[in-house]
C-alpha cells in the first residue's frame, strides 16, 4: 500500500509530501519510521531519542509540523493518473484548511476511478462545508465521502468502497 504523508518542511518552506510504501512484512519498521514521533512527549530533562523518519523530514520535538493538505491531494492525483484500476484513498484531516480547494481540485483532476474517503473530528474540520448539500455522503461528488468522527470501522469503509465501485463510479 502506498502511504502519502504530508507536513510542514523542517526548513519551514512550505508543505512536503512524502510517498512511502507499506508492506505487510515491514509493518513494525514502517510504524517506527513513519508513524511514531518518539520525542513528542519528551520531558524537559529527558534525553532525546533517535529521531524517526517523520521527525527528520517534517520537524522534531514540539515544533509545528502540520502542513497544508492540498499538496498531498495533488500528489496522490498525479501518482494515480496512470493507474488502471479503482483506488481507495483514506485521508485524515485534522485542521480546517483548504477544504474547498481540495474538493475543487478533486472535481477537476481526480478521475472517477478514485474514491476519496476523508476522516476528521467534527471539532477540528469545517463541519458546515463538508455537510453542505450532502458532500460528505457523495451527493455532490460521487467519489468524495467524509466520515465525521474520531472513530471508523474498516467494514463500513469497505462497504462504502464496494457500493461505490459496483455503482459504476470506478469503471
Q: 64-76 pLDDT, tens per residue?
A: 557 788 999 999 9
Question: 63 lies in a domain?
Answer: no
Q: What is the pLDDT of residues 85-137, one digit of tens each?
A: 788 898 888 776 788 999 999 999 987 788 899 888 877 788 888 889 999 88
Q: Which domain-ending residue is among 58, 84, 106?
A: 58
Over residues 28-49, mean pLDDT:
84
Question: 64 lies in a domain?
Answer: no
Q: Which residues contact 149 (CB under 8 A, 6 or more apart)?
A: 119, 121, 122
Q: pLDDT at residue 34 above 60?
A: yes
Claim to verify: residue 27 and residue 97 sit in the same structural domain:
no
Claim to verify: residue 51 and residue 74 sit in the same structural domain:
no
Claim to verify: residue 17 and residue 99 sit in the same structural domain:
no
Enter the DSSP assignment of 135: G
Claim to verify: residue 18 and residue 93 sit in the same structural domain:
no
Claim to verify: residue 28 and residue 86 sit in the same structural domain:
no
Question: 154 lies in a domain?
Answer: yes
Local confidence band at 144 (pLDDT 50, 70, 90 cut-offs): very high
pTM more than 0.85: no
Claim to verify: residue 76 and residue 129 sit in the same structural domain:
yes
Residue 29: its pLDDT value, please?
Answer: 92
Q: Which residues contact 40 (CB under 8 A, 6 or more apart)?
A: 61, 62
Claim to verify: residue 54 and residue 88 sit in the same structural domain:
no
Residue 65: its pLDDT value, please?
Answer: 55
Q: pLDDT at residue 163 above 60?
A: yes
Q: Which domain holds residue 82?
A: 70-166
Q: Which domain-ending residue is among 13, 38, 58?
A: 58
4 to each of 1, 18, 156, 171, how far by Cα in Å? Answer: 10, 5, 22, 24
Claim to verify: residue 43 and residue 87 sit in the same structural domain:
no
Handedness of CA 104, 109, 115, 119 (dihedral sign): negative
Give how many domains the chain has, as a whole number: 2
SS3 content of the chain, % helix, strand, coil (to 5): 35, 20, 45
Claim to verify: residue 54 and residue 79 sit in the same structural domain:
no
Claim to verify: residue 54 and residue 75 sit in the same structural domain:
no
Amino acid at each position: 500500500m502506498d502511504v502519502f504523508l504530508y507536513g510542514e518542511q523542517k526548513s519551514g518552506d512550505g508543505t512536503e509530501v512524502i510517498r512511502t510504501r507499506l508492506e505487510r512484512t515491514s509493518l513494525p519498521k514502517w510504524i517506527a519510521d513513519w508513524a511514531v514521533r518518539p520525542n513528542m512527549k519528551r520531558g524537559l530533562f529527558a534525553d532525546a531519542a533517535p529521531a524517526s523518519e517523520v521527525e527528520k523530514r517534517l520537524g522534531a520535538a514540539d515544533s509545528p509540523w502540520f502542513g497544508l493538505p492540498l499538496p498531498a491531494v495533488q500528489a496522490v492525483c498525479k501518482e494515480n493518473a496512470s493507474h488502471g484500476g479503482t483506488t481507495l484513498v483514506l485521508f485524515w484531516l485534522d485542521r480546517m484548511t483548504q477544504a474547498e480547494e481540495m474538493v475543487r481540485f478533486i472535481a477537476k483532476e481526480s478521475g472517477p476511478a478514485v474514491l476519496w474517503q476523508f476522516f476528521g473530528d467534527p471539532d477540528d474540520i469545517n463541519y458546515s462545508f463538508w455537510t453542505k448539500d450532502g458532500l460528505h455522503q457523495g451527493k455532490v461528488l460521487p467519489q468524495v465521502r467524509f466520515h465525521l468522527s474520531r472513530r471508523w470501522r474498516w467494514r463500513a469503509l469497505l462497504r462504502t468502497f464496494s457500493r461505490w465501485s459496483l455503482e459504476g463510479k470506478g469503471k
